[in-house]
Amino acid sequence: MKPYERWLARLLHIFLTAVVLIIIFLKETEMHFAINNGTQYYVEAYLLLVTLTVLLYFVCSFLDPGYVVRRSADIETVVIFHSKDDVAELLKNEEDDDSETSKMIQNNARNIRLRQCGYCEIMQPLRARHCEECGRCVRRYDHHCPWIGNCVGERNHKFFFAFLCAETALIGWSTYIIFKAFVPELMLKEWFTKNWMFLFSIIFLIICVIVSGLLTLCHSYMMFTAQTTWEFMSRPRISYLKIFPEHYNPFDKGYLMNMVSFLCYCNYQQWDNMYTKP
Active site residue ranges:
145
DSSP-H helix ranges across the chain = 3-26, 30-37, 40-62, 74-82, 157-180, 188-225, 229-234, 239-242, 255-264
C-alpha dist (Å) from residue 110 to 87, 190, 239, 240, 277: 11, 72, 14, 11, 9
Distance CA 53, CA 49 (A): 6
Is the Cα torsion angle 77, 277, 93, 134 positive or negative in sign? negative
Helix or strand run (H / E) with residue 115: strand 112-116
Q: Reduced to 3 states, what is the DSSP secondary structure of residue 270?
A: coil
